Structures are given as structure tokens and as C-alpha cells.
Amino acid sequence: MMTTTLISHLKCRECGTEYEPIRIAVCEKCYAPVDVIYDYSKMSFTKDSFVNRPRTIWRYEELLPVIEPKYRIDINVGFTPLVKCTNLGRLLGLEHLYVKNDAVNPTYSFKDRPAEIAVSKALEFGDKAVGCASTGNLGAAVAAHAAKAGLPCYVLAPVDIEAEKIAQITAYNAKIIGVKGTYDEANRLAVMASEEFGWNIVNITTRPYYVEGSKTMAFEIAEQLDWKLPDQIIIPVASGALLSSITRGFSQIEEVGFVPPTPVKINGVQAEGCSPIANAFRAGEDIVKPVEKPDTIAKSIAIGDPGDGIYVLKYVRDSGGIVGAVSDEEIVESIKLLARTEGIFTEPAGAVSIALLQRMVREGKVAKDESIVCCVTGNGLKTSEIVPTEGNGFDIEPNIDALSALVEKW
């Protein structure tokens, strides 16, 4: 098969230094993030080209950074449902409310997107082992892809992540290294490990490529809205990589001319117990003061020192959106609300977007006729202890009298 990617080169987001598409983590000069740049002049596909393409992230192969198709790992990631939320919309008084349901990816979070690109890229670079620093979801995503690719996988995660995530990572046969500390400490150790042992820690060692995967969420939203962008979007934020990637995805899909230029309000949301970016947003600051000890039930987004924090502030402010922080109580209530109205069961890190949505409605920040997409990024089964089971109260003997007695009480 022929090369289809339109990748041209890499470029430092701060100092502009350009690089060939090499195995690189950050700018060699100023250590800022490095972005993948594509050459649209070579583009030969149109919106119509999509009709016969696979319903996975590889549908957008031209705008992804894997050069040789033979290195592609494909476990059916992406093209997740964009659900029109008629029930929740009615309740909140919104006519065009959507949920991008990334809880139904192969490993049950959006992290399959960056992991699939990163592990493919690792094969292309000839790496012999992959790994990641993770709050759990990325660990599962990289471990599953490593299993498919036949590579050993090392996941560094805080010891106190949810049992479900540990079970999942273990099942994929990755080595899970429980770090007695925060995510940031695990991340730092991962930087050292990549140097010490030569592992491709995908969210560090080959970060410019890794973050490209999440862009596909923006492409899909555009395509699923019949090649339009929404008026607003709400995105859960930990490191800020997802929000940065979706923002880049929206501008790329405009640049290639598939959607008309649209001013999308980009909104980010964190949990109150770990909200360094929301704090900076509220204070009107450009720098992000890290949180040393995150404390929230939304463990997936408990990153105290967010790598892309300053860019989240910039993209959100440029777009006229907000970065909010929601409480654990609001999160639990939002998990239940989304499940009960739309049949979508998310983990706390996905429910933050529903919590912020409700607050924005109360504060008049979203109009009835605006289209708004809430990104639901992870699955509720990853954190099953969050919503207490009410089932135990309803245990009965296996006969109709017992059942009738119970039903009468309702």
C-alpha cells in the first residue's frame, strides 16, 4: 500500500524550530511541545472520499502521522456515536445537545485514539517496548495496543487507581507499576525510565505523534454533524492534551475546507479537587500553578501539573469559552443524570462535562438554539464504586408474593 499521510515536518510551538518527522519528545532547543505539520497542497481527497472508508480513526489517514500503512495497529478505535440528547436537552432547555460517547471505544475511553497512533508509530520507529504514565485509562489503551502489536508494555500509574483499571491493564498482560505517589510523580519517573531503559513511553517519548490521535474526535464530530462544527464544546481536562488536540482538529478540518470557518467556543472542565487550569482561568493568569496533592473522585483527570495547561488557557480564551471546575457531588449527580436520561454510563472524568453543562445553563452561558457537544471520555464500569448499588435493598425470595410486596412499596 502507498503512503497516504500528508505529514510534512514537525514544528516547535514556541520557538518555531522545524524538525524532520523523527523520534522526538519535545523541542531540542526550548523544550516546548512540538506539533506535526501536514502539507495540504498534496491533498487529493474530498468529503465524498469518506463514503467507503472504514469507520475507525484510520478514515482520516491523510491527516494522521503514520507513514507506512503496514505499521498500523487497528483494534477498531473511533467513529464512536455522537448521540443527540433529546431527553437531557429537554430537561435543560437545549434544542441541539449532543454527547460524543467515547466511553464505547475498545478499551472504554478516548485514550484508544492517541494510543493507537502512538503504538503504530512505535512499530514504525522500530521500538522494542512501549509504556506510558497513566491515571489508568491510557494504561489500558496502550496495553491493549501493545498486546495486538506483540510488544511488551510498562504502565506507571499511581497505586491508588481504581481496581477495574488495574484488572483491565493486567488482563492485557502489561506490567503495571504502582507508584506510591501522584500522577505527576509517576510521570516524572516515566521520563527517567524512557531514558534509563529505552522504553517508548508513548505520552512522553513520542508525544508529538501521540497527541495527534485525539484530533480524530474533532474530525468525527464535524462529519457526524454533516460537516458542520458545533457552536460550543465541553471537554474534560487533565493535562490538557485532549483539549489542545480537539482545537487543532477543528482548525485542520477548516483548513482543508471541509467545514466553513466557525467560531467554536471551546470549554474545558476539571474537578475541583484538582483544578490548576480552572484556577488560573478564574484568576486571569497565564501561568498554571500546579496542585501538589490532587483530591477528587475523578482520578482519571487528577493531574496536578498539566503539561498543556498554558495552551488550554490560550485556546479557551481565544475562543470565548471558559474553564470551569465542578465538585465531586456535582460529578456523581451528573453520572446519574446522564445514565437516567440518555442511557449512557460514564465515569467521573467523563461526567465533568455534563456537570459543567448544567452550570453553564444556569448561568446563561449556553443558548437554547446553540449546538453544543459534551465529550464523554470514559466508561462508568471503570469506576463502579462511585454509584452505590441500590440492588441489595431489593433482594427477595424467588416467589411472586415477595415480588408483589416489593412492587407495592414503589
Partner 1 sequence: MVEIKVRLYGNLVGFANGQKEVSLSASSVKDGIDHLIATYGELAGRLLDKDGNLETFINVLVNNKDIRYLDGLETEVKEGDKLIIMPAIGGG
Ligand X SMILES: Cc1ncc(COP(=O)(O)O)c(C=O)c1O
Binding site for ligand X (CB under 6 A): 109, 111, 135, 137-138, 236-242, 300-301, 303, 349-350, 377-378
CA dist 216 and 214 (Å) reads 5
Residue 308 within binding range of partner 1, rule CB under 8 A? yes
Q: Where are the beta strands (DSSP E) in 39-95?
A: 82-84
Phi, psi of 253 (to 5 degrees): -70, -25
Residue 377 within binding range of partner 1, rule CB under 8 A? no
Residue 26 within binding range of partner 1, rule CB under 8 A? yes
Q: What share of the chain is helix, strand, coil (3-state, %, to 5)?
A: 45, 15, 40
Nearest Cα neighbor of 105 from 144, 152, 70 is: 144
Q: Which option in ligand X, partner 1, Zn ion, none does residue 183 bind, with CB closer than 5 to 8 A by kind? A: partner 1
User: Toward partner 1, which CB reaches closer, 112 or 184?
Assistant: 184
- The residue sitting closest to ligand X, measured at its beta carbon, is 378
Nearest Cα neighbor of 384 from 352, 341, 354, 339 is: 339
CA dist 114 and 210 (Å) reads 5
For 267-287, b where at least 16 C-beta lie within 10 A, e where not — what string?
A: bbbbbbbbbbbbbbbeeeeee
User: Toward ligand X, which CB reaches closer, 232 or 239?
Assistant: 239
Q: Binding to partner 1 (CB under 8 A): which residues in 205-234?
A: 207
User: Toward partner 1, which CB reaches closer, 25 or 266?
Assistant: 25
User: Toward partner 1, which CB reaches closer, 186 or 259?
Assistant: 186
User: Toward ligand X, which CB reaches closer, 85 or 298?
Assistant: 298
Only segment of 35-43, 169-177, 259-267, 306-314 that touches partner 1 (CB under 8 A): 306-314
Judged by CB under 8 A, which of 101, 168, 224, 239 binds partner 1? 239
- CA torsion sign, 159 to 164 to 170 to 172? negative
Judged by CB under 8 A, which of 3, 22, 30, 283 binds partner 1? 30
Only segment of 28-36, 98-106, 293-301, 319-327 that touches Zn ion (CB under 5 A): 28-36
Nearest Cα neighbor of 34 from 181, 239, 244 is: 244
According to DSSP, the residues that pair with 252 across neighbouring strands are none
Residue 28 within binding range of Zn ion, rule CB under 5 A? no
Judged by CB under 8 A, which of 230, 307, 321, 350 binds partner 1? 307
Nearest Cα neighbor of 84 from 100, 70, 71, 73 is: 100
Residue 294 within binding range of partner 1, rule CB under 8 A? no
What one-letter code names the amino acid at 122?
Answer: A
Residue 15 within binding range of Zn ion, rule CB under 5 A? yes
Residue 55: CA atoms inside 13 Å, Cβ hemisphere, count? 5
User: Toward Zn ion, which CB reaches closer, 17 or 327?
Assistant: 17
According to DSSP, the residues that pair with 219 across neighbouring strands are none
For residue 81, count CB atoms less than 10 angstroms from its CB and return exposed for 0-12, middle for 13-18, buried for 19 or more: middle
Residue 12 within binding range of Zn ion, rule CB under 5 A? yes
Q: Which option in partner 1, Zn ion, ligand X, none does residue 378 bind, with CB closer than 5 to 8 A by kind? A: ligand X
Only segment of 50-58, 245-253, 299-307, 393-401 that touches partner 1 (CB under 8 A): 299-307
Residues in contact with partner 1 by the rule CB under 8 A: 25-28, 30-33, 132-133, 135, 138, 183-188, 190-192, 195, 203-204, 207, 238-241, 289-290, 292, 303, 305-308, 310
Residues in contact with Zn ion by the rule CB under 5 A: 12, 14-15, 17, 27, 29-30, 32
